[in-house]
Amino acid sequence: MAFDNYQAKKFTKHGDEIVDDNLTVEQALQININNQPFTITMRTPGNDNELITGLLYSEDIYRSINNPLIINYHTTKNNITSAAISIKETDLGKGYLNSRNILSVSSCGICGKKELDELVNTNIKIGDFEIKKETLLQMFQQMGKGQNTFHKSGGSHAAAAFDKKGCLLSIMEDIGRHNAVDKVIGALILNKTLKEAKCIVVSGRISYEIVTKAFAAKIGVLAAISAPSTLAVDFAKELGITLLGFCRGENATCYSHSYRINN
C-alpha cells in the first residue's frame, strides 16, 4: 500500500485535536546482484520491478531492453524486502564496477557514487524534435490527475513520461523523486515504449541525477513544477537535454536547448 493512516495531535490557534492522517509509506528495498549486495534504497512499495529495471538501466548496469530481468523477492519480519537478480557477467555494464553497496536514501539518487563522470556516457545522442509549450503544460495537468497517493497523503513525488504529441506513456509515484523517475523509465522498458518517450515531467525540483537518468533513457525534454539546481542546468546544457523549471499555469522557464519548445 502506498500510504497508511496514522493518528496525530493537530495544534491550531483554536486549540488541539486528534486527527487521522494518511502518510506516504517508506520502506527499504535491498537489491542483490549475483548473490552480492548492490544497494539498499528507501522507496514507496509498489512497482518494484519498474523501479529496479529503471535504476539498473539508468546507471548502466543492465540495459538489455529485450530481455526483462527475472527478480525474486523476499520480505523479512522487519518489512525489509530483498530483490535477488542474476545477470551474466558479460551483460553487466560499466556502472556495476562502481557498486554502491550502501544505503541510498529516498532523496538522493547518487549515494555512493565515486566520480561524477561515471554517471554519464557521452556516446548517447539525444534526437531533435519539437514540443508545443501548450502541450508541455498540459502534461502537468495529466500528471496531477494521476497522483493518487499524493492526493491521499500529500507526501509523494510523481514523474510521468509522454510522447511528443503529449500522450501519456507512464506515470509513477514514490516518496523519492529519483525513484519515481526510475519507475517511469522501468515501465517504459517493460512496456516497450522507451523509444516513444520524448518528455519526462516531475512534480518537484530537478537535481542533476535526474538529468542523467533522462539522458540515459535518451529522453530530450525534462520539465519540473519547481526549480532546477545549478548543476542540473550545467549537465543539461552539456548533454543536450532541454530543461525547464517553474512550469505552472501558462508559464515555464527553459534553461537549456530551448529549440525543442515551440511557443
Active-site annotation, residues: 108
Number of H helices, E strands in the chain: 6, 15
| Angle of CA points 233, 238, 244, to nearest 5° | 35
CA dihedral 51, 57, 60, 65 (to 10 degrees): 150
**Closest Cα partner for 221 from 231, 209, 236?**
236
Residue type, 57: Y
State the cell numbers at 239.
548533454
Contact, 53 vs 189, CB < 8 A?
A: yes
> Alpha-carbon distance 123 to 86, whole Å?
27
